[in-house]
Copies of this chain bind each other. A is one copy, B any other.
Amino acid sequence: MTTRREFIEQALVAATLARAPIPSAAKPLGVALVGLGSLSTNQIAPALRKTTNCRLAGIVTGTPAKAARWKAEYGLPDRSVYDYATMERMADNHDIDIVYVVTPNALHAEHTIKAARAGKHVFCEKPMEVSVERCEAMIAACRSAKRQLAVAYRCQFEPHHLECVRIARERVFGPVRMIEAGFGFAIGDPTQWRLNHALSGGGPLMDVGIYALQTARMLAGEEPVAVSAVETKTDPVKFKSVEESMTFQLTFPGGVIADCRTTYKVSGVNRFTAYADRGAFGMEPAYNYSGNRGWRGDRQPLRFDEIDVFAAELDDFAAHVVAGTPSKVSGEEGLRDVRILMAAYESARTGKTVRLA
């Protein structure tokens, strides 16, 4: 729930953004990608070719070979290719309007704050960061730089997900009472940053459990008041510093109850179901990059054209930057999830239900 103070702050930010110098809507906004891992390579860069409001205008990478390869493939000028030490120089690069932070979770704040100080709007991968404090610092940095900040919650732009949210909000089957949601997969390479707590801030909960959390919050249409979580581990070598599997339960003020699960141990955990007074609806698979399927009632399929969700979320953010209006996937939205994720870890650690303010 938004407090009066938060509401006023948000209104001020919106007003400030509306006054900030805004690039012309006539040409696509330039997007610089920070971190050229597989998500940038296989999803985001191809998606940028499909956007109408954006174009790939720069890169930040610590790997010279990647820099060379991307420069050639995307025809980027030398001055738009940065490493982590030089990225602040993009303050002088008017080709770059938006910085998309695709680095490991625990580097999001550093890269977001650098980008904001360089005068860029920031689109940041989920989870927003590894602590509430860092998320707050990111929000403050963007606010103080009068730049927009949003989090890459692609499901908030996916038509089947949006239809399920509509079914919930419009009470098509009456009020939703119970939600179950899970996302997990068997993780590969044991040396990857996702398994290193210093870089990830946590395991599957941070990485993919957050999708189940988003589903629960979106379908409940309000913020949870309590979370309780448990974790298990069968491979303490691979999962030395992060959880292997976790389940978490959320309760909402209106009485909705959600049970969610996430794992790095087994694949195929990829579904949600909402149970309402006069029927159920859901998705399975729910969280893939494409090929998701939705259903309602007596398993009637939801039929929507496939879209590129990465292109959709980037076009939306660019439109908000141009219009000076706040994105629905704002930094505040990212912070809400991180607060709950941290409470879930606290609950798993203490064995106690954690009340959420």
Residues in A lying within 8 Å of B, measured CB to CB: 175, 177-178, 180, 182, 184, 186, 226, 228-234, 244-249, 251-252, 254-261, 263, 265-266, 268-269, 275-277, 279-280, 351-353
Contact = CB atoms under 8 A, between A and B. Distances in A.
A263 to B, nearest CB: 6
B226 A228 contact: no
A256 B269 contact: no
A228 B252 CA distance: 17
Given A228-B230, A228-B351, A353-B352, A178 B245 contact: yes
A254 B230 contact: no
A63 to B, nearest CB: 33
Given A266-B276, A351-B228, A259 B260 contact: yes
Contacts of A269: 178, 275
B180 A182 contact: yes
Contacts of A259: 180, 247, 249, 259-261
A180 B275 contact: no
Given A230-B226, A234-B254, A254-B234, A265 B178 contact: yes
Contacts of A178: 184, 245, 247, 261, 263, 265-266, 269
Contact of A263 (B177, B182, B254, B279): B177
Nearest to A225: B232
Nearest to A298: B268
Contacts of A277: 186, 265-266
A351 B352 CA distance: 6
25 contacts: A175-B234, A177-B263, A178-B247, A178-B261, A180-B180, A180-B182, A186-B277, A226-B230, A226-B351, A228-B230, A228-B353, A229-B249, A230-B249, A230-B251, A230-B353, A232-B255, A232-B256, A232-B257, A244-B255, A248-B249, A259-B260, A263-B275, A266-B280, A351-B352, A352-B353
Given A177-B245, A178-B266, A232-B256, 17 more contacts: A177-B234, A178-B269, A180-B180, A228-B230, A229-B249, A232-B251, A233-B255, A234-B254, A234-B255, A244-B255, A247-B257, A249-B259, A259-B260, A263-B275, A266-B277, A266-B280, A269-B275
